[in-house]
Amino acid sequence: MTVTLLFFWVDDWLQVGKLLDITGAVGTYYLGVSRNARVSDAVTQAHWSIRGHRNRHFHDLYARIRNERIPHDEYGSDLVLWKHSEDNYKPHFSSSRTYDQIRIRRSKVGWSKSVWFSQEVPRYSFIVLLAVKNILSTGDHMRAWGIQQSCVMCGEPDETRDHIFFACPYTFTVWDRLAGRLSGGRSDPNWDTTLQFITNNDLGSIDKILIKMVFQTCIYYMWKDRNERRHQRGFRTVDQAVRVIDKAIRNGISSLRYKADHKLAGLMQRWFEVF
Ligand SMILES: [Zn+2]
């Protein structure tokens, strides 16, 4: 299947999950791409035909899409070239390379240390970025459009970014189980306190890396969990969620072992100690 035939909003062609889950239904309006459009419908005459560059809520998604090489059927039935760096196009998609191209300008922002770090998993950090900027399609953002969305995990009527990360009793229990010992008992349900702690703390160098990995993985999976519940695709208990995230963290650490940084060898051992 070529990328051009994938559905723009519900197929994972950008490798960040369903775009519809990220923006909510209003995304179709802001980007000017209809709900049933194929990826090819968002391209006219070799240019991305999407709106949104002036809209602060959707600017990052807009930039991310504009960074993608225009998919085109002429490249063959299943060959699409992706931009890896300036004038360097390859047939395989590398989300980290694509990501490198739009992340550099952000490196000076204070919270950027919690989003961008060398051990990041790009699909996690993209969701963290949207959470930090508070532009995930949480209930409070949907209200202006007449859509009522309460928390699908605990029933709280006001579903906000701060509620999901991690004022919600469900997500906080998961976060506390994963980060409690690592943070020295300082896991906190308050978003600002948490982000501040992730960005700036007195933990040792290995633990500093670990807490960011746990934070990113937890944000990604709690948001995924929320979307699956919302679309009746799944339901996890706290124990199940903790197991899924623990496994994802271990996978993340394992994949780092092939990289040069020898300091990372201690990460897995430390994770076993504090989890
Ligand atoms: Zn809740």
Token look-up 């029933």 returns 155
Alpha helices in 116-237 (DSSP H): 122-132, 139-142, 161-162, 169-179, 191-199, 205-230
Give the pLDDT mean for 213-232: 94
Residue 196 CB partners (closer than 8 Å, separation 6+): none
Ligand 1 centroid to 154 CA: how many Å?
4
Token look-up 């605990």 returns 154
Q: What is the DSSP string of 93-127?
A: --HHHHHHHHHGGGTTSTTHHHH--TT--HHHHHH
Least trusted range by pLDDT, from 48-57, 74-83, 160-169, 264-273: 74-83
Ligand 1 centroid to 215 CA: how many Å?
18
* Domain ranges within the chain, ordered by starting residue: 3-106, 112-274
- 150-206 pLDDT, tens per residue? 999 999 999 999 999 999 999 999 999 999 999 999 999 999 999 999 999 999 988
Q: How far apart are CA 59 and CA 173, in angstroms?
A: 33
CA separation (Å) from 120 to 124, 139, 152, 174? 7, 28, 28, 21
Residue type, 266: G
Ligand 1 centroid to 176 CA: how many Å?
15
Ligand 1 centroid to 185 CA: how many Å?
22
Question: Which pLDDT value is given to residue 76?
Answer: 37
Radius of gyration of the chain (CA): 19
Ligand 1 centroid to 214 CA: how many Å?
20
pTM of the model: 0.67
